[in-house]
Amino acid sequence: MHDDRELVESRLKRVLDERIRPAVYPVSVPLEVAVWHAPGEPVPVAEGLAASPSPIAVGAEWGAPWATCWFTVKGTVPAEWAGRTVEAILDLGFDQNMPGFQCEGLVYLPDGTPVKGLNPRNQWVRVGAPVAGGERVELRIEAAANPVILDYHPFLPTTLGDKETAGSAPQYRLARMDLAVFDETVWQLVIDLEVAGELMMELPADSGRRWELMRAIGRALDAVDLQDVNGTAATARAELTGVLAAPATPSAHRISAVGHAHIDSAWLWPLRETVRKVARTASNMTALLADEPEFVFAMSQAQQWAWIKEHRPEVWAKVTKAVAGGRFVPTGGMWVESDTNMPGSEAMARQFVHGKRFFIDEFGVDNEEVWLPDTFGFAAGLPQIIKAAGSKRLLTQKISWSRTNSFPHHTFLWEGLDGTRIFTHFPPVDTYNCSMSGKEIAHAARNFKDKGVARHSLAPTGWGDGGGGTTREMVAKAARLRDLEGSATVTWETPAAFFAKAEAEYPHPPVWVGELYLELHRATLTSQAKTKQGNRRSESLLREAELWAATAAVRTGAPYPYERLDRIWKTVLLHQFHDILPGSSIAWVHREAEQTYAAVAAELTEIIAGAQRALAGDGSAGGRLVFNAAPHARNGVPAGGAAPAAPAPGVRRSERDGGGFVLEDDLLRVEIDGRGLIVSAYDRAAGRESLPPGQPANLLQLHQDFPNMWDAWDVDEFYRNTVVDLTEADEVTAGDAPGSVRITRSFGASRVGQVLTLTGGRIDIRTEVDWHETEKFLKLAFPLDVRAERYASESQYGHVHRATHTNTSWEAAKFEACNHKFVHLEEPGWGVAVVTDSTYGHDVTRAVREDGGTTTTLRVSLLRAPRFPDPETDQGRHTFTHALLPGATIGDAVREGWFVNLPEREVPGDAEVAPLVTVDDDAVVITAVKLADDGSGDVVVRFHESRGGRARARVRPGFAATGVAVTDLLERPLDGTTAPELTDGSVAVSLRPFELVTLRFGR
């Protein structure tokens, strides 16, 4: 036979587009439309419903950026439609291609009952099936004129990302507001043809099945009378019955479809809009669940559930009912789908504490799955935290976005830095917005790397990012793909059901050790510096607030601020969402984040001050005390206690020959030259110079930084090809403190002021930048005379090692990586560290010199200046503190990292404070001391081995403990754990490398 494939394929496309799809709604009548423009920010639903609208015509413009308009639509079902299925078609002016990235609406009945959300792929509201004719129809639409930020010319700077700069030009034009007859047979024919056609296109040209599908499609199109599509659709469908009934082969890939709407808790919209996005999507999904008995929908992020509960009780009522029905499934176990690179140890733990507790409290659901489809890489500390939270499985598809290397598994065990292994699945469909297209389903089956030993994968199905969720079309396609020859099979399932099958069929999956590094979006470790500093500062203040408030509660009976700490933790956790902390949101989000962090800092500072006053008194006897919230003793003040501080060690400053200054104490001799660069850092004890000859440290380096796309997210490797060393100083003078030097520099439109201070063998570098650059990357470089194959970066409850070389593409791809409080590198017997109070991004490179030595250069990333999505990213003043620690062991790096993040607080006070809990081994770091969240008054202590070795230690409560238990992160006693014993008022513990332990002391 002749090969006429292309003819049939083109025919299918044209007839579907131009004749069959338009016939789904064969007749329609216009609705009467009126509108009320809400002034300013969104109003409560009752206010929107009660407002008096004015008439508006279809075709009229509406909606200033970020404005809300309440539409009223009214009409009468024509009598001649009796017996037909009728729907309202409500097109706010949608562009078909961007659900969640443009205007949206939520439809209500006049009494305020939510009906469903409106988006470009979901414009209909069912009026009746069948109608009697003559019914009055009245609906209200809360329509949000969210502007398009990421459009067809992506990544161009726009002022639309903040209401304060977005202007007032209408963004949309009302497109269609009709009542229409819905011809379900034609709609089913569309789905039949789409499923058959899309499958056909994925099959090999020499596959008999492809030709069978093509011939059946040809016959179906022959059967369609183009002048009477509605009258002939049933006949056309009959031509496809046979090919759509052929069952899948026994070896077919098995897809568990999970209805989903990945909703970014803030991104190209502010937090307040996400509250409404979630309500719209949840309304859509409760409506779809009611219509589709097999459909299953999963929603993650406890924060989003909490928003519905707090702000949309009428939607919450529908959601809780659907959850009880078992097919609207709370999934994941985190407060938000956070970044996992940057959150500190305790914050990462609390994501799980608050996320899991919400689902347990509201629904009695204790999830074992962690749901992070879109997070930008996964720190090696995460597996231990997942397990300690009582979970054991992880899902993400994000690593498929890596640009360099293809990850070798889709289902595997992920081993974290302490050895904990988590059963992990990467959906091979490579998206969290699966639409059930033939292309996606075939890609999942082809792409699945564990073929032959495993057969199941998961497909998160529904419009996401900006929400929307699953559509009836996706459900209809899934029904046809349940068991279809040539395709993978598709079954709606819960995440838990999928994981149970995947685990059962694959008892010995391969193992991936260490971080899941995303080879993309590396600049998210640096963009929006103030958001990152706000996070780090909040984490430190929360530690202090819990520690001092718990100490005050136990020692003085002062009330413990349970409610305030719970609320503040949730605020900080929310801002760790994977587009807020990474700095990839619009200006509005980051402007608000800065204000929120300031309020958090003020409230926590007040809690800390109150607790310290309760403990130390008001200083009326004239005393002054230093509170040390760090996990190690400092200047004579015990860890977690307060005492008068010992005098600081002496430092000498002298003029340097040739300009600059020399700073010296008993440990170091540091030379700062006339350019303000550190040209020597001599470790007296080791008798060794830290810096390579002729390569100064404290060198600011400025790079051009214009990535090919995703400006706030990405730094592309070629940024290193050009660099300007900022060696010119305006001024280098003696600083105020005896061991300090002050430096000022100007470059471009920006200025930098630095104060370098030698203190106890540590060179502190305080950098103030008034930053006014565009598309530049500012780094602070420390070339070091060290030959090391690898370096250590702190992560949650431990550290990870990365190579200093680029032997493989995997190592080369890690050209920008994450650290928490320190980066450390060493040769046997001598090491060096840089600690930081707020930066996360860094890079380490190496060069072998002519003298045979090796220069290993550690550079911390200070600032970027991308112009999308926030055109003014990082403009203005910033302050950073770093410190260089020549001669540092890994233990020194851990300790000094804490010190630089938890400055001592000197306050008036006379009563020294003994620590509430002590541990007698410096390798064991206490990360949290707090009262139990259940209000019992029990004291909870969390600690971990911090150096990567073994530790035996005694943990001693500084109060009369009545008992002790090992618990999970949610402070629940762990089953099967040997009960620890309190002997002589302390507990002996023995820790594996990086092992974290939570103890709960009764009292």
Binding site for Zn ion (CB under 5 A): 264, 374
Q: How far is the CB of 267 from Zn ion (least distance, A)?
A: 7
Nearest to Zn ion of 33, 342 (CB atom): 342
β-pairing, 421-425 vs 393-395, is parallel
Distance in angstroms (rounded) separating the CA atoms of residues 418 and 413 = 14
* Helical H segments across 797-858, by residue range: 809-812
Nearest to Zn ion of 466, 798 (CB atom): 466
Nearest to Zn ion of 373, 641 (CB atom): 373
- Give 951: exposed, middle or buried? Use CB within 10 Å, 0-12, 13-18, 19+: buried
| Degrees to nearest 5, angle at CA 437 with 118 and 296 | 60
Residue 395 tokens read as: 């899902």
Q: How far is the CB of 472 from Zn ion (least distance, A)?
A: 24
Are the C-beta atoms of residues 646 and 760 closer than 8 Å to each other?
no
Q: How far is the CB of 401 from Zn ion (least distance, A)?
A: 11
b/e code 425-434 from CB counts within 10 Å (16+ = b)? bbbbbbbbbb
Q: What is the 3-state secondary structure (H, E, C) of 210-224?
A: HHHHHHHHHHHHHHC
Nearest to Zn ion of 178, 264 (CB atom): 264
CB-nearest residue to Zn ion = 374
β-pairing, 176-181 vs 421-425, is unpaired
Nearest to Zn ion of 264, 665 (CB atom): 264
Q: How far is the CB of 426 from Zn ion (least distance, A)?
A: 16
> Of 876, 895, 836, 877, whose CA–CA distance to 860 is shortest?
836
Q: How far is the CB of 464 from Zn ion (least distance, A)?
A: 7
What is the DSSP-derived secondary structure letter of residue 146?
P
Q: How far is the CB of 374 from Zn ion (least distance, A)?
A: 3
Nearest to Zn ion of 263, 931 (CB atom): 263
User: 3-class SS at 857?
Assistant: strand
Q: What is the largest CA-CA distance in the chain?
A: 105
Nearest to Zn ion of 264, 664 (CB atom): 264
Nearest to Zn ion of 100, 561 (CB atom): 100
User: 3-class SS at 630?
Assistant: coil
Are the C-beta atoms of residues 922 and 928 closer than 8 Å to each other?
no
Q: How far is the CB of 970 from Zn ion (least distance, A)?
A: 26
Number of C-beta neighbours around residue 6 at 10 A: 8
Q: How far is the CB of 488 from Zn ion (least distance, A)?
A: 25
| Degrees to nearest 5, angle at CA 840 with 838 and 842 | 125
Are the C-beta atoms of residues 331 and 367 closer than 8 Å to each other?
yes
Q: How far is the CB of 299 from Zn ion (least distance, A)?
A: 14
Nearest to Zn ion of 274, 494 (CB atom): 274
Long-range contacts at 22-26 (CB < 8 A, ≥ 24 apart) = 23/183, 23/186, 23/229, 23/230, 23/233, 24/182, 24/183, 24/186, 24/187, 24/190, 25/87, 25/89, 25/178, 25/180, 25/181, 25/182, 25/183, 26/181, 26/183, 26/186, 26/230
Q: How far is the CB of 377 from Zn ion (least distance, A)?
A: 13
> Of 634, 627, 632, whose CA–CA distance to 611 is shortest?
627
Nearest to Zn ion of 104, 544 (CB atom): 104
Nearest to Zn ion of 265, 695 (CB atom): 265
Nearest to Zn ion of 374, 968 (CB atom): 374
Q: How far is the CB of 269 from Zn ion (least distance, A)?
A: 12
Q: Which residues contact 211 (CB under 8 A, 6 or more apart)?
A: none
Going from the C-alpha of 579 to that of each of 15, 44, 264, 593, 672, the distances in angstroms are: 42, 27, 7, 12, 40
Distance in angstroms (rounded) separating the CA atoms of residues 421 and 424 = 9
Nearest to Zn ion of 580, 643 (CB atom): 580
Element (H, E) at 568: helix 562-574
Nearest to Zn ion of 148, 317 (CB atom): 148
* Helical H segments across 178-312, by residue range: 184-202, 208-223, 229-245, 271-291, 302-311
| Paired strand residues for 896 | none
> Of 695, 691, 676, whose CA–CA distance to 734 is shortest?
676
Are the C-beta atoms of residues 782 and 894 closer than 8 Å to each other?
no
Nearest to Zn ion of 273, 374 (CB atom): 374
Nearest to Zn ion of 158, 274 (CB atom): 274
Taking only Cα atoms into account, the Rg of the chain, rounded to an integer number of angstroms, comes to 31
Orientation angle between helical segments 345-363 and 529-556, nearest 10 degrees = 70
